[in-house]
């Protein structure tokens, strides 16, 4: 299932990237996760960079279509929600989240031409400076080993892209289920309650409960068991048939 059939992926923006190999590995990570738009801000060695292509593998088309900008402002000309990835807050008072939270917010916000969402990544050696990070709406930090929280550029892009893909797939799965006319009709809460009452009555009549105090606990456990199963109407009808048969033997 392709999440981009449901929503537009975020834009990946690399700020002052230094090594062509890292740009290539970032493009490969994007390709893995179905993200296609790469923007480069002031790449150190210029663009195109021949060292990027071998690392990109099948993501070479992302490199071919990458756009280059002189500054972060022009690179975000159509961005309405931006997430800056950094291991340090750098004394900025800004809302923070983790990669999964950023992905969930990205999926919840509809994108269109002129209204894009972007993930920002700083330079390999120095990361993102205050003037760049302040442009973002959220700071994103991953809960990594505090003694070594630094990721290389390709790893960071892959982490963010993967979380976006998983959030997009979950959203699409829920949407598909809601629209599927063949989805089994689930039993209502009232129908489940009626079944539980019959079941509990049968257990009581059969002397299942050794003590009076035992009944509420067992009944709650049984209700929790059937509730987790999310029974359909047809499934409950089958269980009602079983209960009716057992009641005849009483």
User: What CATH code is carried by the domain that includes residue 228?
Assistant: 1.10.8
From 159, 179, 199, the end of a domain falls on 179
The pLDDT value recorded for residue 89 is 56
Q: What is the pLDDT of residue 128?
A: 85
Q: Which residues does 218 contact at the CB level (< 8 Å), separation at least 6?
A: 203, 208, 209
Q: Does residue 153 share a domain with residue 119? A: yes
Clarify whether residues 174 and 67 are in a common domain.
Answer: yes
Same domain, 129 and 205: no
What is the mean pLDDT of the segment spanning 207-228? 85
Q: Which residues contact 53 (CB under 8 A, 6 or more apart)?
A: 24, 60, 63
Percent of the chain clearing pLDDT 70 (strictly above): 88
SS3 60: helix
Give 136-191 pLDDT, tens digit per residue: 888 899 988 888 888 899 999 999 999 999 999 988 876 665 545 555 677 777 78
Q: What pLDDT shows up at residue 189?
A: 74
Cα separation, 43 vs 69, whole angstroms: 9
> Of 179, 214, 230, which one is at a domain's C-terminal end?
179
Whether residue 71 is found in the same domain as residue 170: yes
Which domain range does residue 194 map to?
A: 189-248
- What CATH number is attached to the domain comprising 164? 3.40.1280.10
Name which of 81, 10, 19, 6 is nearest 39 in CA terms.
10
**Is residue 105 located within the same domain as residue 199?**
no
* pLDDT of 1 over the 70 cut: no
The pairing of strands 38-41 and 11-15 is parallel
Q: What are phi and psi of 100, to 5 degrees?
A: -70, -40
**105 and 19, same structural domain?**
yes
Extract the runs of DSSP E, i.e. beta strands, from the chain. Answer: 11-15, 38-41, 67-69, 79-85, 96-97, 116-121, 138-140
d(CA 123, CA 165): 24
Do 209 and 241 fall within a single domain? yes
Q: Which of 66, 26, 36 is nearest to 48 (CA)?
A: 66
- Note whether 238 and 159 are same-domain residues: no
**Residue-level pLDDT at 43:** 97
Q: Does residue 42 lie in a domain region?
A: yes
Instruction: Look at residue 18 and tell me if it is in a domain.
Output: yes
Q: Is residue 184 part of a domain?
A: no
Which of 132, 121, 124, 177 has the alpha carbon at shortest distance from 18?
Answer: 124
Can you say whether residue 207 is alpha, beta or left, with left for phi > 0 and alpha for psi between -120 and 50 degrees?
left
Chain segment 53-102, per-residue pLDDT in tens: 999 999 999 999 999 999 999 999 889 889 999 866 556 677 899 999 99
Q: 208 and 116 in one domain?
A: no
Q: Report how far residue 234's alpha carbon sits from residue 8's, in angstroms, rounded to the nearest whole number.
A: 39
The dihedral sign for the CA sequence 102, 161, 72, 133:
positive
- Confirm whether pTM is higher than 0.75: no
Write the DSSP string, 212-250.
Answer: TTHHHHHHHHHHHHHHHT--BHHHHHHHHHHHHHHHHT-
Q: Are residues 138 and 221 in the same domain?
A: no
Strand partners, 186: 232
Same domain, 92 and 210: no
Interval 5-19: pLDDT, tens: 457 899 999 999 999
Total structural domains within the chain:
2
């Amino acid at each position: 299932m392709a999440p981009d059939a449901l929503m537009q992926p975020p834009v990946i923006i690399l700020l002052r990237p230094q090594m062509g190999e890292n740009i290539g590995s970032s493009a490969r990570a994007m390709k893995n996760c179905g993200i296609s738009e790469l923007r480069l801000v002031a790449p150190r060695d210029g663009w195109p960079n021949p060292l990027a292509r071998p690392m990109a593998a099948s993501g070479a088309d992302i490199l071919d279509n990458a756009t280059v900008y002189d500054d972060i402002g022009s690179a975000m000309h159509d961005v309405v929600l931006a997430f800056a990835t950094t291991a340090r807050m750098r004394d900025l008072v800004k809302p923070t989240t983790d990669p999964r939270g950023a992905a969930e917010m990205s999926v919840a916000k509809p994108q269109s031409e002129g209204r894009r969402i972007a993930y920002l990544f700083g330079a390999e050696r120095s990361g993102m400076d205050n003037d760049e990070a302040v442009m973002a709406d959220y700071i994103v930090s991953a809960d990594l080993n505090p003694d070594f929280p630094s990721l290389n550029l390709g790893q960071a892009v892959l982490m963010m892209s993967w979380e976006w893909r998983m959030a997009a797939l979950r959203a699409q799965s829920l949407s598909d289920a809601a629209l599927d006319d063949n989805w089994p009709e689930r039993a209502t809460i009232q129908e489940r309650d009626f079944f539980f009452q019959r079941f509990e009555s049968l257990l009581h009549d059969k002397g299942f409960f050794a003590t009076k105090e035992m009944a509420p606990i067992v009944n709650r456990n049984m209700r929790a068991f059937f509730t987790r199963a999310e029974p359909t109407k047809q499934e409950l009808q089958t269980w009602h048939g079983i209960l009716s048969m057992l009641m005849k033997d009483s």
